[in-house]
Chain A
Amino acid sequence: MGRDIHSRLDMQRSSSERGPLWRDPAVRALVIQAILLLALLGFIAMIVTNTLANLEARGITTGFGFLQERAGFSIPQTLIDYSGDSSYARTFVVGLLNTLLVSGMGIVAATIIGFIVGIARLSSNWLMAKLAAAYVEIFRNIPLLVQILFWYFAVLQALPSPRQSLSLFEAFFLNVRGLVVPAPEPLPGFSATLWALLLAVIAVVGLSVFARRRQARTGKALSVFRLGALILIGLPLAAFLATGRPLAWDVPTLSGFNFNGGVTVIPELVALWLALSIYTASFIAEIVRSGIQSVPQGQVEAARAISLPGDVTLRKIVIPQAMRVIVPQLTSQYLNLTKNSSLATAIGYPDLVAVFAGTALNQTGQAIEIVAITMAVYLLISLVVSALMNLYNARTLLKER
């Protein structure tokens, strides 16, 4: 200790005379980083040489040429044209689209269930609050994989055969082969309705911009919500009716042992969708609850003190502040859901991991390329969403003085 102070005093006396080199933090940092870099390069070199030697020993050629080859297997659910003659690149796209489909469906359902349960947990109704709490505690603490297998093997596989389908309004049928629903079939003239919908969306966006500017200028508020909902529903509906309702429904009918017409949602998708939504909803419910509880009670009291009505307090005071807490965590749950959809492979839903990192990998043996592509896709999704989230956070950050 004493010597240390001495040497520092010495250093002050003559700045040219410095302590020993290994005591200098800057030199130390440089040395440590140099060693780290060397170790890293050595590690990479070792892995590369080992891998090349192993691949040669097994007779596997590296490269992405296999993507153009014929895949030769069929996939039970494809959103784009696909057959056994398609290439592995096409397999990849089919798998990716299936992943995005189940993730999108799961996100919508999980958000709806999650918000309902989260708000119910804060209900003054004892029974509802306890029921919501029980929901969260039960589904949050059971592994997602168990839930997926449960829905698929214990519930959906136990459903009756198509002839004894459970039916709703004689239009929706649930059986062991999946869920059969009516398919909409647009007739000529239906495009008018779609154009009207587009127009309505533009009008509502314009209206909300106008309302915000006007309120900033004059202080007069305009209820965009009701007017917007009216435009959004009314305009397409008017166009739909004016063109003579140009939409037919292809209702499924039982013929022989299976259904004709309609769209069949495969049971794997139903099971995965149910499990993902129910599981993620339990986390979203907790996020919503903590978000709402994070708004200080004083905010509500202050709003009451300036006699804002209850719904305005909720819309203008509580929700915007709660959302600042909720949205970032919600996004990370959405990302988790997307990543968790890869569990599809356990029940054979043809997602990216199942068809590409599963079947395609087994057929080609191109382990490195395929696992790398698969990981890169998920990584890309994560990074893009995180970047957007950082943007959102920067915009909604508390402006502190």
Chain B
Amino acid sequence: MATRTEMIEARRPPDMRRGVVGWLRANLFNGPFNSVASLLTIVLLAMVLWPLAKWALIDADWLGSTREACTGEGACWVFISARFETIIYGFYPDAARWRVDLVLTMMALLIAWLAIPRLPAKRWVGLFALVGFPIVAYFLLLGGHFGLEAVPTREWGGLMLTLTVATVGIVGSLPIGVVLALGRRSKMPLVRSLCVVFIEFWRGVPLITVLFMASVMLPLFVPTEVEFDKLLRALIGIMFFWSAYMAEVVRGGLQAIPSGQEEAAKALGLGYWRRMGLIVLPQALKLVIPGIVNTFIALFKDTSLVLIIGLFDLLAIIRAGLTDSNWLGFATEGYVFAALMFWIFCFSMSRYSQYIERRLHTGH
């Protein structure tokens, strides 16, 4: 099939040139195919990037507060800046916005503390972030206690609502997911099959149908006199849906832990919960941190779906602004800005996940 009858020609000596020319030769123009490809890419990039920069930056309108500020040549970012407050707080009453600021600042500090490896007391800060912070945030945002004015959830909106949905989804789905993953590996047939059915059900249906179910079917499931908040219904749906995905990620980690670990713990006389909590789970969860963060990213992106059941998250608020009769025709600016906001959050999470992966990759 592949027999050579003549000698192969000697290779050229390796290119030892350095500097810009050497780099260009090595990376862009090493061979005729690559040279043509590089030139085509450069032309294509110039054709796309230059008009884009001209539209978004050079010809854009930045200052002003009314539609008259838009000259119409480039993007009109006045559309965004004029409604920036609404995009962040939704319809949250002006006088109470400091509460949102406080919660968001707390959240940023907690995340920063947990994300920076050098800071101490991770365990206690983490515990507070998972247990204490949600309680504090609940009382601050919803109000109605301790002399704070009550703010019903229908007045929530914008980035603040997006972050609320994402945080509740993340904090809620991880523990449920861990329990489901443990249940799926249980030796009790009933527990195992229940977990399998639960996980496969949520993983098999689209989130939209789950949200539909939460908004139209959930009220039927509870006694007539119980009033279910629209946001709460969406949160329950999102939590169950993502806990199934989380369970599969955690299961991957559990399977990667050699059975000798559990057997050794058994030999020491540890019971099931101690074996899992002290020996198996800490190792398994550490292994799947990248997978967990990826699920967080997917969850964060999918919070935008709540607009379909009528909640005003970041995307829905911007979309509502587009139908304002004073500001018709700014769909591009609106959606580009929404995309940018989501992108910043998701991209930083994915970068952090890659960083953690490298850090935990302590093998060879």
4 closest cross-chain pairs (CB), A and B? A126-B27, A382-B204, A141-B346, A339-B206
The reply on B71 being an interface residue by CB < 8 A is no
Residue picked from A149, A378, A383, most chain B C-beta under 10 Å: A149
User: Separation in Å of the A42 CB from the closest CB of chain B?
Assistant: 14
B219 touches A54 (CB 8 A): yes
The reply on A47 being an interface residue by CB < 8 A is yes
Nearest residue (CB) in B for A220 is: B1
- Give Cα distance in the complex from A138 to B2, angstroms: 44
Chain B residues near A144 (CB, 8 Å)? 301
Nearest residue (CB) in B for A150 is: B335
B41 touches A143 (CB 8 A): no
Nearest residue (CB) in B for A219 is: B1
Nearest residue (CB) in B for A126 is: B27
User: Separation in Å of the B308 CB from the closest CB of chain A?
Assistant: 6
Nearest residue (CB) in B for A376 is: B205
B220 touches A54 (CB 8 A): yes
The reply on B179 being an interface residue by CB < 8 A is no
Chain B residues near A269 (CB, 8 Å)? none
The reply on B342 being an interface residue by CB < 8 A is yes
A146 touches B212 (CB 8 A): no
Chain A residues near B153 (CB, 8 Å)? none
Q: When the two chains form the complex, which single residue of B45, B205, B347 contacts A378, counting CB atoms closer than 8 Å?
A: B205
User: Separation in Å of the A301 CB from the closest CB of chain B?
Assistant: 16
* Chain-A contact segment, one of B57-65, B85-93, B187-195, B284-292: B187-195
Chain B residues near A221 (CB, 8 Å)? 1
A309 touches B41 (CB 8 A): no
Q: Which of A48-66 contact B (CB under 8 A)?
A: 50-51, 53-55, 57
Chain A residues near B304 (CB, 8 Å)? 143, 145-146
Q: When the two chains form the complex, which single residue of B1, B30, B220 contacts A55, counting CB atoms closer than 8 Å?
A: B220
Q: Which of A313-350 contact B (CB under 8 A)?
A: 339-340, 342-343, 345-346
B37 touches A147 (CB 8 A): no
B220 touches A353 (CB 8 A): no
Chain B residues near A379 (CB, 8 Å)? 201, 204-205
The reply on A75 being an interface residue by CB < 8 A is no
21 A–B contacts from the bound complex (CB under 8 Å): A4-B269, A40-B194, A128-B38, A141-B350, A142-B301, A142-B339, A146-B335, A154-B332, A154-B336, A308-B2, A342-B208, A345-B308, A353-B209, A357-B209, A368-B220, A371-B212, A371-B213, A374-B209, A375-B213, A381-B204, A383-B204
A131 touches B45 (CB 8 A): yes
- Give Cα distance in the complex from A146 to B334, angstroms: 10
Map CB proximity to B onto A24-35 as digits: 1 under 8 Å, 0 otherwise. 000001001100
The reply on B181 being an interface residue by CB < 8 A is no
Interface residues of B (CB under 8 A from A): 1-4, 27-28, 30, 34, 37-38, 41-42, 45, 187-191, 194, 200-201, 203-209, 212-213, 216-217, 219-224, 269, 297, 301-302, 304-305, 307-308, 315, 319, 322, 331-332, 334-336, 338-339, 342-343, 346-347, 350
Nearest residue (CB) in A for B305 is: A145
The reply on A127 being an interface residue by CB < 8 A is yes
User: Separation in Å of the A21 CB from the closest CB of chain B?
Assistant: 17
Given contact pairs A141-B347, A307-B2, A353 touches B212 in the complex (Cβ within 8 A): yes
The contact size tier of chain A is: 35 or more
Given contact pairs A141-B346, A142-B342, A125 touches B204 in the complex (Cβ within 8 A): no
Nearest residue (CB) in A for B300 is: A143
B41 touches A361 (CB 8 A): no
Chain B residues near A1 (CB, 8 Å)? 269
A146 touches B34 (CB 8 A): no
A126 touches B308 (CB 8 A): no
Chain A residues near B297 (CB, 8 Å)? 141
- Give Cα distance in the complex from A55 to B219, angstroms: 11
B322 touches A131 (CB 8 A): no
- Give Cα distance in the complex from A221 to B2, angstroms: 11
B190 touches A33 (CB 8 A): yes
Chain B residues near A357 (CB, 8 Å)? 209, 212
A124 touches B34 (CB 8 A): yes
Residue picked from A4, A37, A142, A143, most chain B C-beta under 10 Å: A143
Residue picked from B1, B27, B203, B204, most chain A C-beta under 10 Å: B204
- Give Cα distance in the complex from A33 to B187, angstroms: 11
Q: Which of A199-245 contact B (CB under 8 A)?
A: 221
List 19 additional contacts besides A36-B190, A141-B350, A375-B213; criterion CB under 8 Å. Answer: A33-B188, A51-B221, A126-B28, A127-B37, A127-B42, A142-B301, A145-B307, A146-B304, A146-B342, A153-B331, A153-B335, A154-B336, A158-B331, A343-B208, A343-B308, A346-B308, A353-B206, A361-B212, A378-B204
Chain B residues near A141 (CB, 8 Å)? 297, 301, 342-343, 346-347, 350
B187 touches A29 (CB 8 A): yes
Chain A residues near B343 (CB, 8 Å)? 138, 141-142
Chain A residues near B336 (CB, 8 Å)? 150, 154
Q: When the two chains form the complex, which single residue of B45, B223, B319 contacts A50, counting CB atoms closer than 8 Å?
A: B223
Q: When the two chains form the complex, which single residue of B4, B207, B212, B322 contacts A153, counting CB atoms closer than 8 Å?
A: B322
A50 touches B191 (CB 8 A): no
B203 touches A143 (CB 8 A): no
Chain A residues near B222 (CB, 8 Å)? 50
Given contact pairs A150-B339, A375-B205, A382-B203, A125 touches B37 in the complex (Cβ within 8 A): yes
User: Separation in Å of the A361 CB from the closest CB of chain B?
Assistant: 7
- Give Cα distance in the complex from A308 to B217, angstroms: 62
B307 touches A57 (CB 8 A): no
User: Separation in Å of the A253 CB from the closest CB of chain B?
Assistant: 31
Chain A residues near B221 (CB, 8 Å)? 47, 50-51
Map CB proximity to B onto A1-36 as digits: 1 under 8 Å, 0 otherwise. 100100000000000000000000000010011001
A32 touches B191 (CB 8 A): yes
Nearest residue (CB) in B for A134 is: B45
Chain B residues near A340 (CB, 8 Å)? 206
Nearest residue (CB) in B for A383 is: B204
A128 touches B41 (CB 8 A): yes
A378 touches B190 (CB 8 A): no
The reply on A388 being an interface residue by CB < 8 A is no
Nearest residue (CB) in B for A343 is: B208
Map CB proximity to B onto A149-170 as digits: 1 under 8 Å, 0 otherwise. 1100110011000000000000
Chain B residues near A198 (CB, 8 Å)? none
- Give Cα distance in the complex from A40 to B219, angstroms: 19
Chain B residues near A149 (CB, 8 Å)? 315, 319, 335
Nearest residue (CB) in A for B213 is: A371
Chain B residues near A361 (CB, 8 Å)? 212, 216
